[in-house]
Chains A and B, each alone.
Chain A
Amino acid sequence: DSDIQKKIDHEIRMRDGACKLLAACSQRDQALEAAKSLQTCSTRIMAYMSELQRMKEAQVMQNVPRSDAGPMDGRLPCKGKVAISLRIPLMWKDTEYFKNKGNEASPGFELRVELYSCCSEDDYSAGSTPRKLASKLSSSLGRSAGKKLRAAMEPGACSPVSNGGAAPLLLPVPSVGPKYHLLAHTTLSLSHVQDSFRTHDFTISGNECSYWLPLYGSMCCRLAAQPHCMTQRMMGGWLKVKQCGGDPQTWTKVYAVLKATSLFCYQRQEDVEANVEPALTIGINKETRIRASEKDPHSKGQNICISNRYGGEEVTHTLNTESREDTHRWMEAFWQHFYDMQWRQCCDDLMKIELPSPRKPAPVTPKQGSLYHEMIESSDDLTSTVSDILARRMQELELRSQLGTSPTWMSVFEENCPKSTGLSFRPCSSRLSGHSPHSPHCLPSRSPVSPHRRPQLGLLASDASLTSDSDSHCSTSPCCRRHGWPEPSSNFPLLSSSPSRLRPRTLSLDAKLSTLRGRGYGGGGTFQCSCQPPSSSLLAPLPAASRSPLSQRSTQTTLSCSSSTSSNSSSNSEGSHSPESSEGGPFSRPSPARRSLRNLRARLDPRNWLQSQV
């Protein structure tokens, strides 16, 4: 109880700090950060308050005498650690990566993921004034303690309201400062816990702000949970074991530890720490049957029989304890363990939860093989890691690639666009405390930057200001120059086909695939790192191979798209996107499989105004 109170106090102090900072700061990025902290602190305070409330209620209810008290009453399933790794596909940026610190929860938990975004305007002294979109993710853990427990209690006892003395907390919201709007939310619970990444649907709140940041309507995340019964030793003690069917009178004295759905029996107590293999392991899971038998005339204490089915056979072990109290304690532990099985699939295998620590490189095998994952999970030494991964990827792709084009995302690094790397690495950079995101390998320093680059630079600057607190939030900040509906293509004129190296804007890696794959970019498969500064302004129409002038509006780009769409008789639908991909052009017609893959990517790239042939 006092724990929570302390946490609340802490959060309130943080909140006050954020308010003051908000009032005092002059820079946009700081304001954004402060507003973000404010929002999260407020949310956390609310969560803690309601938790406190619930605890008080639970206390009150426990004091009420229950007439139909069953054996499970008053028992709570063990808590566990829940962690979530998130990926939210956004239309301008491919993914936002966010890793939450593990939180404590009971199996009936609900993890509400809310996506907030804040519109902000940047004013740059020189150059264009893009609109910056910063979005942040807040996860608030709402605990609904043990639904089963509630059900077992008297009806009417679980009234959610009761204001038992806690006054409603008015959290003053500063009127200045960037406002975050809730864009979308989804709620995850135990059933969503899985050891792999899954896609969940977002419920998009219908407010106007939702349209600023076009979401795919889904997010992808890995929700992992480590119940304590899997990580901690629930019970330990000396027992005597004999196996039924074996020699009836041989009792073996073992030191037994109950943990992670098994009873591990060691010969010596020291073995437990020493990581020696247990002499005997008895499974204690949902299928196990445990019985305390009558007092065995041959030994003092009571016997406990544990039966499991292995294959078709039933194997029974009999445990004998020193005393009745021991027996009782063991039975209690077993019962608790059964109750902990409410964590269901989490008890099958221990799920890994990596704690993000900025200094420690965390080598994680990504479930998906996307480059993004690799980059995010890697160590904070961005530069070498990136080039390592890239080199590896290059090799992989060279071996596999049939088109003979270099992987399209290579262009991200071959160009001299700070934003591209910034965009890709942002999640990384946000976790680095003070680590400069500005010096990835193979890219020039940022100081000489043309005015056209400023918008992109600004984005990175905001990343640098992100603190490395454990709930680091990543801000997306694609540029959009105009008010009204985001029209990325007008701001990012690079979509035209230009094999030149000057890529004026960043595409997310996956999105790049759609535009560049068909382009035969850069010749086959060599990873060059060209660190030449751009020789011309990015917004100037590029000569030679450009098929649609860069500076023109998106509509014209689209028109040229449609006019140059070649009809594919073999597929019913075709996503035609950037002009170059639909041209027969300089490269051979890709195989249908690749074309459908390209179509898929074209579809997923929201900058394209999709057209389908029917």
Chain B
Amino acid sequence: MSFVPGKPVTAVVQKIEIQKLRQGDNLILGFSIGGGIDQDPGQNPFSEDKSDKGIYVTRITPGGPAEVADLRVGDKIMQVNGWDMTVVTHDQARKKLTKKKEEVVRLLITRKSLEEAVKHSKGCHPRQ
């Protein structure tokens, strides 16, 4: 998942749709994010490439909407409702996720296990 400047980024992604939960005046998703282009990527415990400044899921509230939607800790968020999340600041990312007018967020996330799975499937069923 490392990013070479100037080259397109490719990843195997999974779509995750999360319905926000209303808590009083707020709509919450039930997870925490870390990362961003303004953050120090070396401190990201979830990234494989320590120069990856993407947005990662760092925590999932048990029982929250994110958990229900099968978002997992360590997932890297690539898009939120079509908005790119690979080159955003931390605050921009947060804002994209917490728009008051949106009740649903559709995320494209990538995780290592996905890559593995695809690789596996490619390996086990070689096409001729």
Complex: chain B residue closest to A557, CB-CB: B43
Stretch at the interface among A106-114, A231-239, A321-329, A561-569: A561-569
State the CA gap A124–B91 with chains docked (Å).
39
Cβ-neighbour of B42 out of A485, A559, A603 (below 8 A): A485
Beyond A567-B61, A612-B33, A614-B29, 16 extra complex contacts between A and B, CB < 8 Å: A485-B41, A485-B42, A485-B51, A557-B43, A558-B43, A558-B44, A562-B34, A569-B23, A573-B94, A606-B39, A609-B34, A609-B39, A612-B34, A612-B93, A614-B31, A614-B94
Complex: chain A residue closest to B94, CB-CB: A612
B112 interfacial contact with A, CB 8 Å: no
- Given known contacts A562-B59, A569-B23, A614-B94, is B32 in contact with A487 (CB within 8 Å)? no
B40 interfacial contact with A, CB 8 Å: yes
B39 touches A572 (CB 8 A): no
A610 interfacial contact with B, CB 8 Å: yes
Q: Between A and B, how many residue pairs show CB distances below 8 Å?
A: 85
B66 → chain A, closest Cβ, in Å?
A: 9
State the CA gap A545–B40 with chains docked (Å).
27
B41: chain A residues within 8 A (beta carbon): 485
State the CA gap A607–B43 with chains docked (Å).
9
Interface residues of A in 528-574 (CB under 8 A from B): 554-555, 557-559, 562-563, 565, 567, 569-570, 572-573
State the CA gap A133–B59 with chains docked (Å).
34
B5 → chain A, closest Cβ, in Å?
A: 10
B15 interfacial contact with A, CB 8 Å: no
Q: Tell me what chain B mostly uses at the interface: helix, strand, loop, or mixed.
A: mixed
Interface size on A, residues (CB 8 A): 31
A611 interfacial contact with B, CB 8 Å: yes
A613 touches B32 (CB 8 A): yes
Complex: chain A residue closest to B18, CB-CB: A614
- Given known contacts A610-B36, A614-B29, is B43 in contact with A565 (CB within 8 Å)? no
B94 touches A609 (CB 8 A): no
21 interchain pairs (CB within 8 A)?
Answer: A214-B38, A217-B38, A485-B40, A485-B50, A487-B40, A487-B43, A489-B40, A558-B43, A569-B26, A570-B24, A573-B94, A609-B35, A609-B44, A610-B36, A611-B32, A611-B58, A612-B91, A612-B93, A613-B59, A614-B31, A614-B94
State the CA gap A576–B58 with chains docked (Å).
11
B28 interfacial contact with A, CB 8 Å: yes
B91: chain A residues within 8 A (beta carbon): 603, 612
Q: Across chains A and B, which 7 residue pairs bring their CB atoms closest together, nearest first?
A: A609-B43, A614-B97, A611-B34, A612-B94, A555-B45, A613-B32, A487-B42
B6 → chain A, closest Cβ, in Å?
A: 12
Q: Mark A174-217, 1 if CB is under 8 A from B, else 0.
A: 00000000000000000000000000000000000000001001
By CB atoms of chain B within 10 A, which of A214, A554, A563, A613 has the most?
A613
State the CA gap A116–B121 with chains docked (Å).
51
A572 touches B43 (CB 8 A): no
A356 interfacial contact with B, CB 8 Å: no
- Given known contacts A555-B45, A562-B58, is B39 in contact with A573 (CB within 8 Å)? no
B90 interfacial contact with A, CB 8 Å: yes
A554 touches B42 (CB 8 A): yes
A486 interfacial contact with B, CB 8 Å: yes
Q: Mark B39-77, 1 if CB is under 8 A from A, else 0.
A: 111111100001100000011010000000000000000
B54 → chain A, closest Cβ, in Å?
A: 13
State the CA gap A570–B26 with chains docked (Å).
8
Complex: chain B residue closest to A609, CB-CB: B43
B32: chain A residues within 8 A (beta carbon): 562, 565, 576, 611-614
Q: Mark A581-614, 1 if CB is under 8 A from B, else 0.
A: 0000000000000000000000100110111111
A486: chain B residues within 8 A (beta carbon): 40
A466 → chain B, closest Cβ, in Å?
A: 29
B34: chain A residues within 8 A (beta carbon): 558, 562, 609-612
State the CA gap A527–B59 with chains docked (Å).
40
Complex: chain B residue closest to A573, CB-CB: B94
State the CA gap A488–B51 with chains docked (Å).
15
B93: chain A residues within 8 A (beta carbon): 612
State the CA gap A262–B28 with chains docked (Å).
61
A245: chain B residues within 8 A (beta carbon): none
Cβ-neighbour of A611 out of B26, B33, B40, B42 (below 8 A): B33
- Given known contacts A558-B45, A569-B24, is B40 in contact with A609 (CB within 8 Å)? yes
State the CA gap A555–B28 with chains docked (Å).
27
B98 interfacial contact with A, CB 8 Å: yes
State the CA gap A484–B40 with chains docked (Å).
11
Cβ-neighbour of B59 out of A485, A488, A565, A606 (below 8 A): A565
State the CA gap A345–B77 with chains docked (Å).
48
B28: chain A residues within 8 A (beta carbon): 572, 613-614
B38: chain A residues within 8 A (beta carbon): 214, 217, 606
A606 touches B29 (CB 8 A): no
A161 → chain B, closest Cβ, in Å?
A: 34
A217 → chain B, closest Cβ, in Å?
A: 8
A572: chain B residues within 8 A (beta carbon): 26, 28, 98
State the CA gap A60–B46 with chains docked (Å).
66
A573 touches B98 (CB 8 A): yes
Interface residues of B in 66-116 (CB under 8 A from A): 90-91, 93-94, 97-98
A569 → chain B, closest Cβ, in Å?
A: 6
State the CA gap A317–B35 with chains docked (Å).
68
A558: chain B residues within 8 A (beta carbon): 34, 43-45
A612: chain B residues within 8 A (beta carbon): 32-34, 90-91, 93-94
Q: Mark A470-485, 1 if CB is under 8 A from B, else 0.
A: 0000000000000011
State the CA gap A567–B60 with chains docked (Å).
11
B23: chain A residues within 8 A (beta carbon): 569
B31 touches A613 (CB 8 A): yes
A606: chain B residues within 8 A (beta carbon): 38-40
Complex: chain A residue closest to B36, CB-CB: A610
State the CA gap A445–B94 with chains docked (Å).
47
State the CA gap A609–B52 with chains docked (Å).
13
